[in-house]
Structure 1
Amino acid sequence: MKKYNMLTDSPGRSLFFFALPMIFGNLFQQFYSTVDSIIVGQFVGEDALAAVGASYSLTTVFIMIAIGGGIGASVITSQYLGAGLYKRMKTSVYTALISFVTVSIILGVFGLFFSSKILVGLNTPENILADAMLYLNIYFVGLPFLFMYNILSSIFNALGNSKTPLYLLIFSSLLNIVMDLLLVGGFGFGIAGAAVATVFAQGLSAVISFCILMYTLRGYAGQEEHKEQKEGERQQVKEVAVLTASEHGMEKEKSLFDVGMLGNMIKVAIPSMLQQSIVSIGMLLVQSVVNGFGSSVLAGYTAGTRIESVCIVPMIASGNAVSTFTAQNLGAGNSERVKKGYLAAVKMVVGFAVVICLVLTLFHGAIIRSFLERGSEPAAFETGNAYLSFIAFFFVCIGLKAITDGVLRGSGDVVIFTLANLVNLGIRVTIAFSMAPHWGVQAVWIAVPMGWSANFLISFVRYLTGKWSKKKLIKMEE
């Protein structure tokens, strides 16, 4: 497959072919997560599936924090790449890895100490509480590896290399499935086997990914040397009274950590964490609503949310691609090209939404049945079917939200972006809690497209102002 340059090639093609490996990679990630649930549901039972579901919304929040942190780092890295400041770009990579791996260790320790209290606070049914706690504790032990795995994927994407994360995700997914079948289906380790399989597969992929990244960064040293040689040939040209980009690169060559860069990363990372985790945080906060309807409804809801997670993959990947596209082109000083990329991205997500709607409308029943063993309670089937048949028509909303947020995030225009995502979260939680007594568990998913739509409208108004194009997180004199 040809490698498209985001700075020079057709915006539509470069976005699509950059997003494609991200979509396939994330689909594989969701695929093995889904297979994880299917294996647990078929080999262990409905209660075990409900226990994984009770843990899933919490574990996904932590992973989305990692992805959001990675995006914060990737925006800075992409802008340095677009500006040709390769040594500063390398420093941004090292700064991100050191910072976010430290955060993951802190979060892992926090999770181990408070997992039981969190589950009890979410009204987790008593009959699945022990299994859910066991799954979470194993998960938190491996959290640093899971965090690093997702941070590294974001950094590769920032470098314009979305293929390496794809290959590693395929490897991780297949390894996870094999280990699931071996530990859960073969040795009968149940919930513990599923958790160990996930941690081991992603942990091994994280180590391999780190080694590949270190090798990749060596290649940019040669590009920097070539750039410095060209600068030397043009010494007769009058220089401005600031350090040139190459001089600054030489000065900072040995820097592994930069507090100023970390501050800029945090500016983007915090709203990005919110944006990436908004679905998961919403699921977590309304988990107590679903739990109140019993473990059978929770099992059906778990199956539905797993399929929803698969369906939003192309939308989130498109938004992340737009973020990288925006960052690189603003780094190169070309805001008009960003607008062309945005229009191309709109067509992409509308096309994805039509395909998803057709598939779910035709096959939602068969999809839900694949998660549940024979003899499962009718409420589990009914809940899953109702969820998918409703949400099928609204994925275009999250697609438009994702790409519009991508422009704002890639430019570093984070205030309205953050507000829009908070409104999204507020709508989902408020409607779920206030209307569940009247509408039943359906209130949980009826609120979803309402939150997505409000988020999109707020971000789109900001996009139309054009103020995002005036922002940039790096300066050429750095």
Structure 2
Amino acid sequence: MVTSSLKRFVHPDLLHGSIFKAIVLFTLPLFVSYIFQQLYNAADTVIIGRLLDDNALVSIGACTALYELLVGFGIGFGNGLSIVAAKAFGAGEVEKLKKITAASIVITIFVTVFIMILTAFGLKPIMVLLKTPADRLNEAYSYISVITQFCGVLFAYNLFAGMLRAIGNSFVPLLFLIFSSVLNVILDFAFIKATGSIRGAAIATVIAQFVSGLLCLIYIFCAAKILVPSFKHFSFDSSLYKDLIGQGLSMAFMGAIVHSGTVILQSAINSLDQMIIAGHLCARKIFTLTNIPIITLGLAASTFVSQNYGAGQIERIRKGVRISIFITIVWTFLLFLPAWFLTEDLIKFITNSTNPILLDYAKKYILFTLPFYLVLGGLIVIRNALQGFGQKILPLISSVIELAGKITFTCLIIPKLGKWGVILCEPLIWCVMLVQLLTVYLRLIRGNSCTPSPEPQAKNPAE
């Protein structure tokens, strides 16, 4: 029998009680879950570095930005749909929650089919346009094409996991993701050895992602019936579809725009030394892993804000955002000392390489970028908070700023500064983005009533 303390951990109440405790309990499973989600691709890199060679790492590195673009779109789309669901849950509208689930399934199917058709015809020309090294093009395509043609499994997991998070359950998706991540590592060894190429890693990733999505779906039908729609809930509601598509595509395009900038930046990186391409791949893996607490606090902030906005608790939102930013600051300072002593060893572990160009670039990238996590933390929390308020356009502006900045660096600065142009690019852009987002957030929070609302009547589904 599940104890009451475990219930509170599995379903932390974001609407009542201690804000710090609620945010931390909700973020912890997200944190571990995001680690394992990133380990899908990181595991590919580590295992490929051991079973194949540096050239295989170059192939993976040349298409990493495209992989991150797809993942960013999928995660953003799922989170956008879950924000609408979280608002309905906070307001205690169970029937509407079921209609949101039904509509989200339909929309996700259409988006999946569109992405599959688009990448089937346009993927290789894009890779050529991005200056993927000619001798690595076919191998890189063999990897990323498998991922894109089976993108439905990625979107399905993010949809179902997002709906569970919308009702306060970030723990169960974590359990399934841990299982599928372990499965991915096992399958990586099996399929890479069987195929003798990086394509085997892509096949392993798709199978493991399918398992995690399937397990989430089974759990929803068995234990989260508040989300299970009946046939009547699939009836078309134009206003609901408009809200879901607007919110889902807003967050998806935000992720896509951000990663499109990274894809454009990749074209400049691909024109540099091939060992810098591999070094950038490694540095980005370490950046992504150390950035997970910040990313997951942002995701938690969007759910926290959307639930409390649905319940009319503006002052609780204000406090929650401040607490989330404070936690990101603490995390950044905790990273400083280990980074100076462990970075080079970590790079060698991930790449299994001793190439001095690779090691030097990756280390410089990581140590220069780390202090700017102080800026990135506020940026991510505030942007997600704005999305939790249901804002669709204003958060997108920050993504457009990032895209414009990366285009500028790609065309004007990196050709002159080389690798240092790549290293300087994102930290400087983050500073500009934070100023814009902070201005928007302060204006929005002041425009809402700060009078505490009555406690909402919606009950935690775990109770």
TM-score (norm 1): 0.88
Question: What is residue 397 of structure 1 aligned with on the other side?
Answer: 375
Correspondences of 1:18-57 after superposition (within 5 Å):
18-57=26-65
Question: What is residue 152 of structure 1 aligned with on the other side?
Answer: 160
Question: What is residue 202 of structure 2 aligned with on the other side?
Answer: 195
- SS of the aligned residue for 1:124 comes to coil
Question: What is residue 411 of structure 1 aligned with on the other side?
Answer: 389
| In 1, Cα distance between equivalents of 2:249 and 2:423 | 26
Question: What is residue 305 of structure 2 aligned with on the other side?
Answer: 326
1:204 lines up with 2:183 in the alignment: no
Q: 1:303 aligns with which of 253, 268, 282?
A: 282
Q: 2:140 aligns with which of 110, 118, 132?
A: 132
In structure 1, what residue type is equivalent to 2:34? N
Cα deviations by residue, 1:405-425 (Å, 9 ceiling, x for unpaired): 122100112332211221122
Question: What is residue 437 of structure 1 aligned with on the other side?
Answer: 415
**Residue 372 of structure 1, CA deviation:** 2.6
Q: 1:213 aligns with which of 187, 208, 220?
A: 220
Question: What is residue 343 of structure 2 aligned with on the other side?
Answer: 364
Count of aligned positions: 442
**Residue 269 of structure 1, CA deviation:** 2.2
**Residue 31 of structure 1, CA deviation:** 2.4
- SS of the aligned residue for 1:7 comes to coil
1:268 lines up with 2:226 in the alignment: no
- SS of the aligned residue for 2:359 comes to helix
- Indicate conservation of the 8 Å contact 1:67/1:273, yes or no: yes
**Cα 1:220–1:168 shift into 2, 3 Å:** closer
| In 1, Cα distance between equivalents of 2:336 and 2:249 | 32
- Indicate conservation of the 8 Å contact 1:7/1:328, yes or no: yes
**Residue 300 of structure 1, CA deviation:** 0.7
**Cα 1:263–1:358 shift into 2, 3 Å:** farther
| In 1, Cα distance between equivalents of 2:179 and 2:316 | 35
| In 2, Cα distance between equivalents of 1:368 and 1:292 | 22
1:10 lines up with 2:27 in the alignment: no
- SS of the aligned residue for 1:293 comes to coil
- Indicate conservation of the 8 Å contact 2:82/2:163, yes or no: yes
Q: 2:398 aligns with which of 413, 420, 444?
A: 420
Cα deviations by residue, 1:83-137 (Å, 9 ceiling, x for unpaired): 1101110110111121012211221122122221111000000121110111122
In structure 1, what residue type is equivalent to 2:62? A
**Cα 1:10–1:275 shift into 2, 3 Å:** farther
Correspondences of 1:171-182 after superposition (within 5 Å):
171-182=179-190
| In 2, Cα distance between equivalents of 1:256 and 1:178 | 43
1:284 lines up with 2:263 in the alignment: yes
Bigger radius of gyration, 1 or 2?
1
Question: What is residue 114 of structure 1 aligned with on the other side?
Answer: 122
**Cα 1:75–1:469 shift into 2, 3 Å:** farther
- Indicate conservation of the 8 Å contact 1:87/1:253, yes or no: no
Question: What is residue 455 of structure 2 aligned with on the other side?
Answer: none
1:350 lines up with 2:329 in the alignment: yes
Cα deviations by residue, 1:282-331 (Å, 9 ceiling, x for unpaired): 22111110000132211111111111111221111111111111111111
| In 2, Cα distance between equivalents of 1:468 and 1:213 | 38
Cα deviations by residue, 1:254-286 (Å, 9 ceiling, x for unpaired): 445433212112222233123334542222111
- SS of the aligned residue for 1:370 comes to helix
- Indicate conservation of the 8 Å contact 2:264/2:410, yes or no: no
**Greater than 6 Å deviation, 4+ residue runs:** none
Question: What is residue 461 of structure 2 aligned with on the other side?
Answer: none
> Between the two proteins, what is the percent identity of the paired residues?
25
| In 1, Cα distance between equivalents of 2:237 and 2:176 | 29
- SS of the aligned residue for 2:198 comes to helix
Question: What is residue 94 of structure 1 aligned with on the other side?
Answer: 102
- Indicate conservation of the 8 Å contact 2:90/2:307, yes or no: yes
**Cα 1:182–1:319 shift into 2, 3 Å:** same
Cα deviations by residue, 1:220-239 (Å, 9 ceiling, x for unpaired): 68xxxxxxxxxxxxxxxxxx
Q: 1:60 aligns with which of 63, 68, 88?
A: 68
| In 2, Cα distance between equivalents of 1:465 and 1:205 | 40
| In 2, Cα distance between equivalents of 1:165 and 1:443 | 39
**Cα 1:297–1:254 shift into 2, 3 Å:** closer
Gaps of 5+ in 2: 1-5, 450-463
